[in-house]
Amino acid sequence: MAELQHLSADAPAEDIVTVLQQDGAAIIDELISPAFIAELRAETDQFMEATDNGFDDFTGFQTTRTGGLLGRSAKCRELIAHGSILAPCEQFLAPYCERVQLHLSQIIRIRPGETAQMIHRDRWAWGKHLAHIEPQFNTIWALTDFTRDNGATQVVPGSSQWPDNAEIGEEQVVQAEMAAGSVLVYSGCVFHGGGANRSTRDRVGLNITYTLGWLRQEENQYLSCPPEIAKEFDRSLQELAGYAMGQYALGYYSPPGAPGEQPEIAPPQYALGHPIDVSMMGLPVGPDSN
């Protein structure tokens, strides 16, 4: 049985990418502190406690999924923009895009009595049309310990290149057991699923995923975090959320207003109050531009 590799918190981006390309998943140990987790949960537990259980076998009848974290939690924003994650993310997805973007942010709480989720691929969010590329770089941050008994994520190491109809045997599945503060990083192509919670306590994880800048995001960031909220963020976080061109000619808009009052074509950053410059339009800028 293959095992998930554990990497240190200071592992270089290149090492993380190498393991993902080989196994489809890896664990980075203890990347955030207990104090950080406590502050994050102080900001988000009220939303989690108000969230209903899922409604089918996939979402889980004893599982809650709390989203919209970009606008709800400053500590979640720190994790969304965490350099130790963004560096390998951008490197891993670079062959397929000019820009990466936030795909979703969601706290997943697996309660006692929950059964194991079906094994699946996250890229299936777009149907099965993307088998020829890697569309995602995903994370699950452990906000509690992840154990075999409380629902640690199931992963099939090495399955990234398998066909969509591959039959997964129990002996091929391992669980991402890790201490609170650690993070499971995994590709959109690796087979995985939530584990069964046979314990007496909740398993709480923060799922933050990233995708190619030219794909539609699973969580609609522009409705969850509209311009009046996003305008207060750092510029880099705004653009990561999707307030930027995906590449040339992808994502511009015509601002509403009287004739001649607004520019006819503007990049998304304009909606946040930024003056337009050529670099915003997804064009290469510099001596090699043409």
CATH of the domain at 217: 2.60.120.620
Residue 136 identity: Q
Shared domain for 52 and 108, answered yes or no, is yes
Residue 233 lies in a domain: no
Beta-ladder partners of 212 = 100
Q: What CA–CA distance (Å, rounded) separates 91 from 7? A: 17
Shared domain for 267 and 181, answered yes or no, is no
Shared domain for 51 and 187, answered yes or no, is yes
The confidence score (pLDDT) of residue 284 equals 55
Residue 279 lies in a domain: yes
Shared domain for 210 and 271, answered yes or no, is no
The confidence score (pLDDT) of residue 286 equals 43
The confidence score (pLDDT) of residue 87 equals 98
The confidence score (pLDDT) of residue 279 equals 85
Q: Tens place of pLDDT for every residue, the chain, 290 residues?
A: 689 999 999 999 999 999 999 999 999 999 999 999 999 999 999 999 999 999 999 999 999 999 999 999 999 999 999 999 999 999 999 999 999 999 999 999 999 999 999 999 999 999 999 999 999 999 999 999 999 999 999 999 999 999 999 999 999 999 999 999 999 999 999 999 999 999 999 999 999 999 999 999 999 999 999 999 999 999 999 999 999 999 998 999 999 999 999 999 999 999 999 999 888 888 654 434 34
Shared domain for 136 and 258, answered yes or no, is no
- Dihedral over Cα of 231, 126, 165, 56: its sign: positive
Count of domains for the chain: 2
Shared domain for 185 and 258, answered yes or no, is no
- Write down the pTM of the prediction: 0.94
List Cβ neighbours of 165 (8 Å cut-off, separation of 6 or more): none
Shared domain for 25 and 100, answered yes or no, is yes
| Structural domain containing residue 270 | 250-285
Residue 230 lies in a domain: no
CA angle 145, 149, 150 (to 5 degrees): 50
Radius of gyration (C-alpha) of the chain in whole angstroms: 20
Shared domain for 144 and 270, answered yes or no, is no
The confidence score (pLDDT) of residue 278 equals 83
Angle at which helix 13-23 crosses helix 83-93, to 10 degrees, equals 50
Q: What CA–CA distance (Å, rounded) separates 206 from 117? A: 17
The confidence score (pLDDT) of residue 6 equals 98
